[in-house]
Amino acid sequence: MGEHGMEEPTWQGMDPDGAVARVRRAQSWSPLLATVGLALLGLVVWQTLAVSRIPEPIMHPNRFDGVIYWAGPNLGPFYAKQDVSSAELLFVGDSRVYDDTDLDVVRQAGEDSVGLIWGPNADLSVLLPAIMDLPAKRLVVALSPSTLGAKTNPVMRASLVTPPPVFEPLSLESALGIWVDGERERLIEEGYSPFIVDTHLSSFRKVLRETTRRSEGGTHQLDRLVRERLNYFRTASIRTLATRRWHREWFEVPNADKLVQACRITLEVISEEERAAAETIVVEKLRELVARGVDVRCVRFPVSPSVLSVEREFVPDARLEAIATAAGVPYYQYQEAGLPAGVDPSEQPERFETRDGSHLTWAASRRFTRMLVERIQGPSTDG
C-alpha cells in the first residue's frame, strides 16, 4: 500500500528477494484485471448491504444542485435544486424543505417536473414575491415560525447593507480577500461574534467566487457543462454513486436537541412587528398565487419536541393555522411527528428521526416525502 513503493528502489532492503524486479519483468495484466474485478465486487456488496443496513440508503445524486438564486438585489442567496424555471411542482422554504424532501421519491411518485428553492432560515415574505413569475402550477410552502420574518442569517443581512463590489475575474482572489478582511472587521465591530462572522464569510466567499466565475463564462462554463454531463451519466447509469447525505450523517452523531439553542436565537431576533409584517405579505402572496390558479399547499415539517417547544414559545400553532386559513390553502401539520432525543427510531416507527432536532435523517426524509407526496397528489380539500 505504498505511495509509490515499487517505483524506484532507493534503499537496501526494499527489494531484498527481487520480488519487485520479478513483478516488473512479468508482462502480465492480471493485477489490473483482479483489481477491477475486486472493486466491482466491492461495489456490488456495498450496494446490496447499504440499501438496507449501512446507516442510510444510498441517495440518488442531485443533478443540478446548488444553483444560486437571488430573490432580488442583495436578497438571498437562495439555492435552487433541479431546474426551477420550468418545474411544474415547486417546493419552497427553509433548510427543512431541502433536507426533508427527497426529490427522487417525489419523482418516483410520478412527478417528473419538480424543483426546489430554499435558503437557510428563508423568510417567506422575501422568497414568495421572488418566485411569483415562475411557471409552477403547484406549490408546496414550508410554514414555520422561522420562515416568517426570519433574518435570513442576520450577519448576511448586515453584510448586504453595503452590496459587495462586482469582482473582476482577473483579480478575483486578491480583491475577494481584501473585501472579506474589511468585512470581517466591520461586522465584528458591529457586535457579531467572530465565530458567526467567520462562518458566514467563509460560505459567502465561496458564493461570491462561484458567482463571479460563472458570470465570466469561458472555461468555468465548460467545466460546469462537463460536470453536469458526467453527473447525468452517473445518475443514469449507477445508483450507488452520490452519497452526500449518507456521508454527512455518518460523520455527524444524531442529536435531536442539537439545534434548540440555535432555534431560540433565530426566533428571538425577530421582532413582533417584523413577524406581523411578514405574515401580511405571506398571506397576500399566497392569495395572489391561488387567484392565479396555482395549487398551493402549506406544510409544517416534523421537528423534535425540544425544538417544537421553543417554537411554540414564540409563535403558537394557531397563528400559523390562521395564515393558511386566511390565504385559503390546505395546511398539513406534522410538527409533532418528530422523534425525541434518545429514542430508538424502531420504537416509534410512526414518527420521524431528526439528526439535529430540526432536519430529518435521510431515511426519515424518504419516508416523510412518500407520505407528503400522497397528500399533495390528493384533492386540495384534504387540509
Partner 1 sequence: MSFDSGTFWVLFGLSWLLWWRLPFSWAKTAALAASLIFYAWWSPYYLPLIIISAVVDYAAGGRIHAARTDGARTRWLLVSLCTNLGLLGYFKYGHFALENLDSIAGALGVEGVNTAIPWVVPVGISFYTFQTLSYSIDIYRGRLAPAKSFRDFFLFVAFFPQLVAGPIVRAQELLPQFRRRQWPSPWRIQNGLYLIVWGLFTKIVVADNLAPEIDRIFAMIPSGQATPAHVWLSLIYLGCMVFADFAGYSCLAIGLACLLGMRFPRNFLYPYISRGPQELWVRWHMTLSSWLRDYVYMPLWGKKGGGSRQYTAMLTTMVLAGVWHGAAWTFVMFGLYHGIGVVVNRFWVNTFNGGRRARGWPFDRPKGPAAITKRIGIILLMNVFMQSNWVFFRAPDVASVFEVWRIAYIVPFQKGMGWEVFAEARHLVLVLPIVLMHVTQLLREWFAWRERPWHRVLAAAVMIVALVVVRRTDTADFFYFQF
Question: What residues from 145 to 174 belong to the interface with partner 1 (CB under 8 A)?
Answer: 168-174
49 binds partner 1 (CB under 8 A): no
Contact letters for partner 1, residues 4-23 (x by CB under 8 A)? xxxxx-xxxxxxxx-xx--x
| CA–CA separation, 265 and 202 (whole Å) | 21
Cell matching residue 88: 411544474
Among 39, 132, 166, 269, indicate the residue that binds partner 1 (CB under 8 A). 39
What letter would DSSP give residue 75? B
1 binds partner 1 (CB under 8 A): yes
Give, to the nearest 10 degrees, the angle between helix 194-216 and helix 172-189: 150
| Minimum distance from residue 333 beta carbon to partner 1 (Å) | 33
Output the CA–CA distances (angstroms, integers) from residue 347 to 83, 237, 302, 344, in the order listed: 39, 37, 17, 6
Cell matching residue 17: 528477494
- Residue closer to partner 1 by CB (options 67, 143) is 67
- Residue closer to partner 1 by CB (options 139, 197) is 197
Dihedral sign (CA 334, 335, 341, 342)? negative
How many residues does this entry show for the chain?
383
Question: What count of other Cβ atoms lies within 10 Å of the Cβ of residue 127?
Answer: 26
32 binds partner 1 (CB under 8 A): yes
Taking alpha carbons only, the member of 365, 324, 278, 379 closest to residue 97 is 365
185 binds partner 1 (CB under 8 A): no
Say whether 321 sits in a helix, a strand or coil.
Answer: helix
Q: Which stretch binds partner 1 (CB under 8 A): 189-197, 268-276, 328-336, 343-351?
A: 189-197
Q: Which stretch binds partner 1 (CB under 8 A): 114-122, 187-195, 283-291, 319-327?
A: 187-195
Subset of 221-280 contacting partner 1 (CB under 8 A): 222-223, 226-227, 229-230, 240-244, 247, 250-253
- Residue closer to partner 1 by CB (options 55, 135) is 55
Backbone angles phi, psi at 313, to 5 degrees: -60, -35
| CA–CA separation, 165 and 379 (whole Å) | 48
3-state helix, strand, coil in the chain (%, to 5): 50, 10, 40
| Minimum distance from residue 380 beta carbon to partner 1 (Å) | 36
- Residue closer to partner 1 by CB (options 249, 311) is 249
Backbone angles phi, psi at 89, to 5 degrees: -110, 125
Subset of 311-370 contacting partner 1 (CB under 8 A): none
Q: Which stretch binds partner 1 (CB under 8 A): 2-10, 108-116, 144-152, 264-272?
A: 2-10
- Residue closer to partner 1 by CB (options 168, 190) is 168
182 binds partner 1 (CB under 8 A): no
Among 135, 194, 217, 316, indicate the residue that binds partner 1 (CB under 8 A). 194
| Minimum distance from residue 82 beta carbon to partner 1 (Å) | 15
What letter would DSSP give residue 91? E
64 binds partner 1 (CB under 8 A): no
